[in-house]
Structures are given as structure tokens and as C-alpha cells.
Chain A
Amino acid sequence: MRLDVKKTYKLFIAGDFPRSESGRSYEVKDRKGNFIANPAQASRKDLRDAVLAARNAHSSWASATAFNRGQILYRIAEIMEGRSEQFVSEIMAMESVSSKQAQTQVGEAIDTWVWYAGWSDKISTVAGSTNPVAGPFFNFTVAEPLGVVGIVAEERSSLLGVVLGLAPVLAGGNCAVLLASQSRPLSAITLAECLATSDVPAGVVNILTGLGDELTPHLASHMEIDGLDLSGVDSKSATALRMSSVDNLKRVHSFTSEKSPERILSYMEYKTLWHPIGI
């Protein structure tokens, strides 16, 4: 007979797993009201630290080769595969689903990383172009990463929603600050443990757990955030968040849970270059 060693679910900021700066945590329960865990309840200062970490990590992540980024995304899938049992049991506890349904979700989440890993070094070829111009110039249009993207993960599938939000953002060379589902945050933190051990540079992904109503307004108004994914926000709250995100012209999107190259391009911007011929 031995005592269980329970995991403390913490935040993921700049490659570290801190508790909330505020010292708070909150209770997560399953559908029947049984206690599951006490994850950290992030404050707006934790959010600020996370955004700063993402900004600091951005230049090196964006300048890594697209091939290298793809390899790292694939590596995440490899590491997740080895942890799949843990994901399955957490999903079963949080979502009250059968083990088969949970396994399907974990499998889809891992496949999503692989799918976007492949897109990483192809997206600029597919989306970019060589443009005919009336003059002695080469004219290229290339897609470049936007910067820091704030994600409120879609929460019907607690793991898949997180991966569907993160993978396209990372594939495009952006850094992310992700707010995990308030009622089902455990998979996101376990995913963070995979990210921390799979060559993703510190700060490229930052994951916060806490109360959505408290954190999303700051996510929307923060001037350091360039794009927002509001897939996990209901349409009424989304309107207010869209309004407070206009100050720095954030790209705000909301997706249904589909993989698509458009999701990568939603957080990229086009740069057009003119280069004289023959010089």
C-alpha cells in the first residue's frame, strides 16, 4: 500500500512550469461533480509574462528554417505518442467519455501535428507567388509569420481543440499564448510537458490555465499580440473581444475544428519584394 503521488498542474511560461504569480488555483470537477485537480489560476500578470516570453522567442523561431520547424512539430507528435495513455485517462476524467472515444481523440491530435509538420515547409511555396510586372524586375510575394498569436482553445474536445489551435500557428512561424479551457484544462498542461521535451524553444508556446472571463479581455487588448484565435469563445463574448482588439489591428479569427492550410495563412502576412533583373 503506497500513497498516490499527485501531479500539480502548473502554468507553462517561457519554458518553465511556474505556479500562478498570484498563488491562486481553482478546482476542476468532472460532469458528476467529482474533484479532478487543482490547476493554477493565472492572473493578468502571468498573461503579461507569457506574452513577453512569446515576443522574446519570436525572432529566433520565425528565422528558423521552415524544414526545422516541421521537424520539431513532428517531434511533438512522437513524444505525445509515448504519453498517449496519460492523455486518454485525463480526457476520460474530464469529458466523461469512453476510453475508445478518448483514444480516437488522442490519435487525431497526434495526427494533426504530423499533418501540420508536413505543411511547415510547403506553405510558403503554395501561398507565395512570382508576379509578372511590366519592368525589368523579379517580383515575389512571400508569406511571413505575423508574430505573437493569442489562442482561446476550442473546448469540446479538450486535447484536440488545443492542438488544432497551436499547430497551424507554430507551423507558420508564430509564437503562441494559449488559454486552456477553463473546465477541461488538464490535457493542455500535459501537452505542455510534451512541448518542453520536444525541442520547441522556450517561450514559443506558453499555456495558461484559469478563468476565461478574467483573462480574455487582457489577451484581446494586449498591444504585443498580433493575432487572436477565438475558437473557444461564444459569439456574444467574441464581439466584445473583437472590439477591444482593434487598437493594434489584430487579425481575429474563429475556426470550426477542421485542419486546413488556410488556418496557417490566417496568421501569416504577405510581403512583396522587387528585385532588379541583371544587377
Chain B
Amino acid sequence: MSALNLIDGSEASLRRFLQTLPGVDQIGAQERAAMLGTRSIKTTSKKWAIDRAISMIDLTTLEGADTAGKVRSLCSKALRPDPQDATVPHVGAVCVYSDMVGIARNHLDSIGGQDIPVAAVATAFPSGRASRKVKLQDSRDAISLGASEIDMVIDRGAFLSGQLGEVFDEIRAIKEICGDKVHLKVILETGELVTLDNVRKASYLAMLAGADFIKTSTGKVTPAATAPVVLVMLEAVRDFFEISQIRIGVKPAGGIRSTKDAIKQLVLANEIAGPHWLTPELFRIGASALLNDLLMQRMKLSTGRYSSVNYVTVD
């Protein structure tokens, strides 16, 4: 806790604190992530991992062409991912643009999906280039329509030009609007942060400002959730827990398309942050195409034969 007491929210104190963070050994991080990616997962563990990964998915549609109909069908899929198999768990959340929140919430409630939270991307997603006023209003709108999770983007321009206080204040302001009930996920957009050192700094900045989750990417920029980036973020939440006794969640998003990728993420979470993080409360995977691959792998485990894309929904 002693280290955290140094921070009074001023830019100078933030800079002092972030300077105490050790640099990331980039080669070491890449090697360790690659090594963990080669773990062999046996069939029983795989079955568990597939179901757990499904329950951690933030099922996402973030297209300019999203329609009310598409959002509704996404919600139906979130509740019953495989219509032929009721033992498949529902996903962690549905993630949509803020204007679609009302449609998603109403539809989920009407089909018995009251337990499934709706997450909204807010604060001028994905670029984050708007005035503070607009970003705050965007978040308020989403919450008033029924969003129980807000995925905000940080101002990468401000972060990269060293205006740490600006980034910190903005996260804090959004967290104030969210209050205790609404979870705040802070998107670092690691593809634009360039170095792993920056990823570590941005992770701490977000956690200090009150994020409940730190999320890798918007999904609109590549590279997105690469293994070394997720590894550094998981180390950050683990170390943050040591000094603050607060567990912050991690959400890799973008580029996770196959069951193999998803299981690699679970292995990373388990090995770096610890088994505590293997719940939807502390680990989410932002994805859309991934769910179909998980379902196909699940069918493979139950029927013994490889399935086809013809047996899962298109969207």
C-alpha cells in the first residue's frame, strides 16, 4: 500500500510512481509467452477449458453496419450458444455500441437472459478522439439504457505525448459516472502503444485510476491481443494485487479466433496471474468468431467427429 500512498492524482506523482516500475524484458516476455503457448492440454481439461472460455466471452458486434436485428440475434446466441445443446453455458456478456444497448438489454430480458450483462463501448470508440464532454455523455447514455459494463478507450495520443494526468483524470471521470454498480473496462489499445514498457505503464495508470478491468484492444487495430502483451498485463494485475489487495480483471480482445488461441489465453491467465483469475468476473475474452470455433470443438469432443461451419450460425 505504501507505494500507492505516493499518488495524489497529480501528474508529477503519477510520473514518479510509473518511473519506479521496472522495464519489461521484451525478449523474455516473448519467450515465456511462446513457451506457455506450447502447453499440451489433455481432453478432460480441454472440455473444461472450452466451457470456461465460452462463459468468459464478451460476444461482440462492433460494426458500422450493425442493425437491431443483428444485435437481437447476437443476444439470442449469447444465451444459448448452441441451440441443440442446453449444456453449453451462456457467454460472459454482450458487447455492443452504446446506441444498441437498449435493444440488447430488452431482448436479453425478454428471452430469459437477465443474468447476461450488456457491455457498451463508449468514449468515442474506437479512436477516443472527442471532447471530454462528449465522452462522458456517451457513457451516461449507455448506462441509462441499461449497460452494466462500460468499455472505454484511453486517449493514446495523450498517453504517448506524456500527458499522463490527462489520461488518468479521464478514466477517473468515467469511473465516477459508472459508480460501484457499473464495471469499467479500460481499453489500452496496445497495438498503438508500441512498447511493452508502455503497456505496463498504461496498465498501472488504468488500475490506479479505478478500472475494474484492463482490456488489450478495440479490435480495430492490429496487432491486438498478442501473447506477450497479455502476459505483461496479467503480471501487472498480479503485482497490483500484491500492493493493493484489489483484483483487477483482464480482457484480451481482437485476433482471438480459434479454440487453440482461447486456451492459450487461459493458460497465460492461470500461469501468470493465478487460478483466481479463471472466472468471468476477472477474465474475459472479447470475440465474435471465436464462439463458433469453440462450439465446433465442443461438438468434436461429444460426437468424436470434426464439425463443419454449416452447423453453427453465421453471425
Contacts and interface: CB of A to CB of B under 8 A. Distances in A.
Interface of A: 48, 51, 55, 218, 221-224, 244, 247-248
A248 B306 CA distance: 11
Nearest to B307: A223
11 contacts: A218-B306, A221-B305, A221-B306, A222-B305, A223-B305, A223-B306, A223-B308, A224-B306, A224-B310, A247-B305, A248-B308
A55 B309 contact: yes
A-side interface mostly: helix
A131 B69 CA distance: 39
B311 interface: yes
Contacts of A218: 305-306
A221 B309 contact: no
A31 B56 CA distance: 56
Contacts of B305: 218, 221-223, 244, 247
A221 B307 CA distance: 9
Contacts of B311: 223
Interface of B: 304-311
Contacts of A244: 305
A224 B307 CA distance: 6
Contacts of A223: 305-308, 310-311
Top-5 shortest CB links A-B: A221-B305, A223-B308, A224-B308, A222-B306, A223-B307
A224 B304 contact: no
A109 B278 CA distance: 56
Given A218-B305, A247-B305, 18 more contacts: A48-B306, A55-B308, A218-B306, A221-B304, A221-B305, A221-B306, A222-B305, A222-B306, A222-B308, A223-B305, A223-B306, A223-B308, A223-B310, A223-B311, A224-B307, A244-B305, A248-B308, A248-B310
A20 to B, nearest CB: 16
Nearest to A221: B305
B304 to A, nearest CB: 7
A51 B305 CA distance: 13
Contacts of B310: 223-224, 248
A221 B300 CA distance: 11
